[in-house]
Amino acid sequence: MTDAIKIDVWSDVACPWCYIGKRNLESGLAQAARDDDPPRVEVTFHSFELAPDTPVDFDGGELDFLAGHKGMPKDEVEQMLANVTGVAADAGLAYRFDLLRHTNTVKAHELIHFATEHGRQLDTVERLMRAYFTEGRHIGRIDDLVELAAEIGLDAEAAREALTSDRHLTDVRRDQDQARAYGIEGVPFFVIDGTYGVSGAQPPEAFAQVARQVWAEHRSSAAEESDAAEEPAA
């Protein structure tokens, strides 16, 4: 059987473009899945903190954070948020920056690694991003993260133990070290088969195209290996 395409995604759950990129990736792969020879794809998310200095309980909204904490002009922030809200809507996402509760995301990343151990990584990434960008839920505190974990069927007490013990903090740091090794400075960033890099929230058609291209390479490589195996010994 032809090997699946491996797509490794570096993202932050508090990155608006990362949620858009995730949805566009899913839409692009769904397009390619309708082909006569659909690509087999395995997607894995990896931790990246855009603002590790953010407090867990930031006093203010997204405008306050970007204008005050990051020093951006307010009119520039308002325009930027309006722009990303429109792009998110095109991807089928209803962003609510008026509800958003800015926070530190390291514990959310630890929860994703916990969920990965239990085969629920993609569900957890989706739940955290939806909670943050569309529901105004807090994703920085352990109690809130445990509630979200339970909502998708993860064991609440096991999740709490993992978060309070910092058991998966080394996994988060390992992802970040790998990002630095790849030279990743911004997210979302997609690494395909450890070889091709795709930066930013590309449109679905771009993801469909790269999936088809890499799948064709997989199929060609598999055919060459099969031909070589069938050649008679000299």
**Structural domain contains residue 234:** no
Res 71: pLDDT: 82
What's the structural domain count of the chain?
A: 1
pTM: 0.94
Domain that holds residue 101: 5-228
pLDDT > 80? residue 189: yes
Q: Are 155 and 124 in contact (CB under 8 A)?
A: no
Helices (H), the chain: 16-32, 62-64, 74-90, 106-117, 121-134, 142-151, 156-164, 169-182, 204-230
pLDDT > 60? residue 184: yes
**Whole-number Å distance between alpha carbons of 110 and 167:** 8
In this predicted model, what pLDDT tens digit does every residue of 13-62 receive, in sequence order? 999 999 999 999 999 999 999 999 999 999 999 999 999 999 999 888 88
**Structural domain contains residue 233:** no
Average pLDDT over residues 86-92: 98
Percent of the chain with pLDDT over 90: 86
In this predicted model, what pLDDT tens digit does every residue of 156-168 receive, in sequence order? 999 999 999 999 9
Q: Return the sign of the alpha-carbon dihedral for residues 48, 53, 57, 62.
A: negative
Res 142: pLDDT: 98
Question: Half-sphere exposure of 180 toward its Cβ, with a 13 Å CA cutoff?
Answer: 8
The CATH number for 31's domain is: 3.40.30.10
**Structural domain contains residue 110:** yes
**Structural domain contains residue 154:** yes
**Residue 228: which pLDDT band, with cuts at 50, 70 and 90?**
low
